[in-house]
Structure 1
């Protein structure tokens, strides 16, 4: 029986992934004249690399400058674009009656706080783990193993909710069942090893 839910953030609870892609694409073009194609970006993300591998001749110093500007662009987008996913609060309100929940994200905490400022989603959560809170990011298992540790939970008592292949790989390596919720942004990725695949977060209630 499942008692705990570990949610990915981007693409599951808020629609931010296209904005991160656009910010990265913009910075690569501006600083390195690289046109980052969507298919290449998806592979880079799945492998767990930074987008700067698309500019292999860039120096470390150049990458730092470009990354800082990318982060500026991303935060600008977060503050002005609509990133809400319809029905999330109602679903979490129903789930909290039965399950303890946490967020496990590869977002930086500074970005996470902008995303969730006055949004109310974190009120349903026992904890939030950001990229600074574990040794290695997804697709390594560290983020979800840390989530288990904080819950003091067994793997078989826990389920992960993801929308990306990178997150699925992380959950698989942690040996935790994973639900993939449909997201247009990641729909071309390989989710064949997911325990469940659902077309909306609301269906999570039905399968638990």
Structure 2
């Protein structure tokens, strides 16, 4: 069986449920702070999540309304949004998804590298990491964020950079993602991907066959994982052994 060398984690919707009750509230507060009348309700925000990256999302929405936001104003919006997101995170409103803490610790004990690869900015990621419980302190060896690449997901650039920085062989890496852009990015970089689908991604059904496994969540003793596609997992838990099994399976 091929030995796992690294795990690359997406953040929003994968590590934690950050979108609707975290980033969305921060965006709306930023709009108010900067004098915009925009308000992204859950339905609209779910639609806009097909655009990876907050700056790109705001620019897309402005263009859809026929507005033009200059770079300086976009920077101001992004900074305000980040500050408001930090407040949301520090309030304890963001929690890890089921099984994430368990698997992070299991992988860490096996001395397997773990990296964050996300379309969010570094400040938002660091704020979330600081809210993690003490047993997860320094669990990641590094990160690739929106600040590190010009082309974001679904382009392969974020995962290509993570491969370079971690000095990992792509044949020994597994990615965790929740969205179509993330899955396409991982696959374009030649990486196996475990998908935990986000309910707001309407396009995902058409592309999830490219994932090595599709599951609802990673599993706890009292909350077993459901496998929609891919190999069955023992005891309803996604484990290090399961990830290494995926490495040995034919790439999809």
Structure 2 SS opposite 1:124: coil
**Where do residues 90-129 of structure 1 align in structure 2 (5 Å cutoff)?**
90-98=102-110, 99-117=112-130, 119=132, 120=134, 121-129=136-144
Post-superposition Cα deviations, 1:20-60, rounded to whole Å, max 9, x if no partner, equal: 123224444774433441343123339x9332321121330
Alpha carbons 1:182, 1:198 under 8 Å: kept: yes
**Where do residues 79-90 of structure 1 align in structure 2 (5 Å cutoff)?**
79-85=90-96, 86-90=98-102
Paired residue for 2:157?
142
Check 1:128–1:42 CA distance in 2 against 1; reply closer, same or farther (3 A cut): closer
Alpha carbons 1:12, 1:201 under 8 Å: kept: no
Alpha carbons 2:6, 2:114 under 8 Å: kept: yes
Paired residue for 1:164?
179
Counterpart check, 1:33 vs 2:37: yes
- Structure 1 gaps of 5+ residues are none
Paired residue for 1:133?
148
Post-superposition Cα deviations, 1:65-84, rounded to whole Å, max 9, x if no partner, equal: 33333223222212214212
TM-score, length-normalised on structure 2? 0.70
Paired residue for 1:188?
202
Check 1:126–1:63 CA distance in 2 against 1; reply closer, same or farther (3 A cut): closer
Counterpart check, 1:65 vs 2:76: yes
What's the C-alpha RMSD, in Å, of the aligned pairs? 2.6
Q: Which structure dedicates a bigger proportion of its chain to helix?
A: 1
Distance in 1, Cα, partners of 2:123 & 2:138: 18
Counterpart check, 1:42 vs 2:49: yes
Alpha carbons 2:163, 2:169 under 8 Å: kept: yes
Decide which moves more: 68-77 or 108-117: 68-77
For the pair shown, the structure with the greater C-alpha radius of gyration is: 2
Match 1:201 to one of 206, 218, 223: 218
Alpha carbons 2:175, 2:193 under 8 Å: kept: yes
Distance in 1, Cα, partners of 2:95 & 2:46: 25
Structure 2 SS opposite 1:75: helix
Paired residue for 1:174?
189
Structure 2 SS opposite 1:204: coil
- Structure 2 gaps of 5+ residues are 220-236, 244-252
Alpha carbons 2:50, 2:181 under 8 Å: kept: no
Paired residue for 1:23?
26
Residue 131 of structure 1: how far off its partner (Å): 2.3
Equivalenced residues, count: 206
Distance in 1, Cα, partners of 2:47 & 2:174: 29
